């Protein structure tokens, strides 16, 4: 009988240090730098910077694969640095994860800056590692996991109100089936309740990312990304989706990438 180990039992080959993904963590609070670096140690080589200028200098020494940037820095803000990092890298789609203090306005600025993901303090291992890991899968989806739901929604815009139904949801956005078809980039408040959660109704602001017309792939509807979202609501959505997510049921949320 062969004593050779089965291929399925063999560990994946370990990458050399210079072959591992390069992760840049930018924060001026040593405790947060240490915590995030510890969380991400298994995901790649972690380098750190305590300011925007240090972050850009670090990129001059060696390219990075993903950046984790705190929103409040001594010399800049995370939304500004997000744009500068991509400009310095010459890559408008370089993954940048912004870490907010839970302020809705910060969240909106991060989204408008094109952040790949926004997570809120206190940062957990699952949220940080999950966000960075998605960015490092070659050719894989960089969107957020989404789940199917069925709940009523009310859309309130400037001088306009419409009804619809939320049919899928992530902590970063949702798809609403509605006959209203505003242009891409339209901003409004979307009111809805998480089915089976028992919590109070949510009313974040959102912006249309893409529109689906009847006959394309189903009913008319809107793919939206949340804008002003406070930390408590963000964490509520994250936990709700995480508890119900099944990769075999729905694919990763791609609306925010279109």
Domain ranges in the chain?
17-136, 147-257
User: How confident is the model at residue 7, as a pLDDT?
Assistant: 40
Contacts of 167 (CB under 8 A, 6+ apart): 148, 149, 150, 175, 176, 177, 221
Count the neighbouring beta carbons within 10 Å of the beta carbon of residue 150. 10
Sheet holding 117-120, edge to edge: 45-49, 22-26, 66-70, 96-100, 117-120
| pLDDT the model gives residue 6 | 44
What CA–CA distances, in Å, run from 164 to 154, 177, 180, 212, 248? 6, 5, 8, 14, 26
Query: In the prediction, which pLDDT does 4 show?
Result: 42
In this predicted structure, what is the pLDDT of residue 215?
53
Predicted pLDDT at 191: 96
Residue 213: what pLDDT?
73
pLDDT at 16: 55
Nearest Cα to 190, choosing from 148, 233, 154? Answer: 154
What pairs with residue 125 in β-bridges?
none
Options 2.40.10.220, 3.40.50.2000, 1.20.950.20, 2.40.50.1070; CATH for 147-257 is 2.40.10.220
Angle value at C-alpha 228, between 49 and 186, nearest 5 degrees? 120
CATH number of the domain located at residue range(s) 17-136 in this protein: 3.40.50.2300
Cα gap 148→135, rounded to integer Å: 23
| Beta carbons within 8 Å of 222's beta carbon, 6+ residues apart | 164, 175, 176, 178, 180, 181, 182, 208, 210, 211, 212
pLDDT of 200 reads 87
Q: Residue 146 in 3-state DSSP?
A: coil
Residue found under tokens 């419409």: 162
Q: Return per-residue pLDDT of the chain as tens, 258 residues.
A: 444 444 444 444 455 556 899 999 999 999 999 999 999 999 999 999 999 999 999 999 899 999 999 999 999 999 999 999 999 999 999 999 999 999 999 999 999 999 999 999 989 998 899 999 989 987 655 678 899 999 999 999 878 899 999 999 999 999 999 988 888 899 999 999 999 987 789 999 999 998 887 655 556 899 999 999 999 999 899 889 989 887 654 443 333 333
Q: Angle 52-61/78-89 helices, nearest 10 degrees?
A: 20
């Amino acid at each position: 009988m062969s004593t050779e180990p089965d291929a399925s039992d063999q560990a994946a080959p370990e990458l050399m240090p210079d072959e591992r993904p390069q992760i840049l963590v930018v924060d001026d609070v040593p405790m947060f730098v240490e915590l995030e670096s510890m969380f991400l140690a298994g995901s790649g080589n972690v380098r750190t910077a305590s300011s925007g200028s240090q972050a850009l200098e670090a990129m001059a020494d060696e390219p990075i694969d993903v950046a984790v940037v705190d929103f409040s820095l001594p010399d800049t803000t995370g939304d500004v640095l997000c744009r500068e990092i991509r400009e310095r890298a010459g890559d408008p789609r370089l993954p940048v994860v912004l870490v907010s203090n839970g302020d809705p306005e910060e969240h909106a600025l991060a989204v408008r800056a094109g952040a790949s993901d926004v997570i809120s303090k206190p940062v957990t291992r699952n949220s940080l590692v999950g966000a960075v890991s998605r960015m490092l899968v070659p050719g894989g989806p960089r969107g957020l996991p989404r789940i199917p739901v069925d709940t009523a929604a009310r859309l309130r815009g400037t001088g306009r109100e419409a009804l619809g139904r939320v049919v899928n949801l992530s902590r970063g956005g949702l798809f609403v089936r509605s006959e209203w078809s505003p242009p891409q980039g339209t901003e409004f408040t979307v009111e809805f309740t998480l089915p089976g959660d028992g919590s109070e109704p949510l009313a974040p602001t959102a912006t249309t990312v893409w529109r689906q017309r009847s006959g394309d792939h189903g009913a008319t509807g809107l793919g939206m990304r949340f804008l002003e979202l406070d930390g408590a609501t963000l964490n509520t959505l994250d936990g709700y989706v995480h508890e119900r997510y099944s990769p075999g049921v729905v694919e990763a949320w791609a609306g925010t990438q279109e």
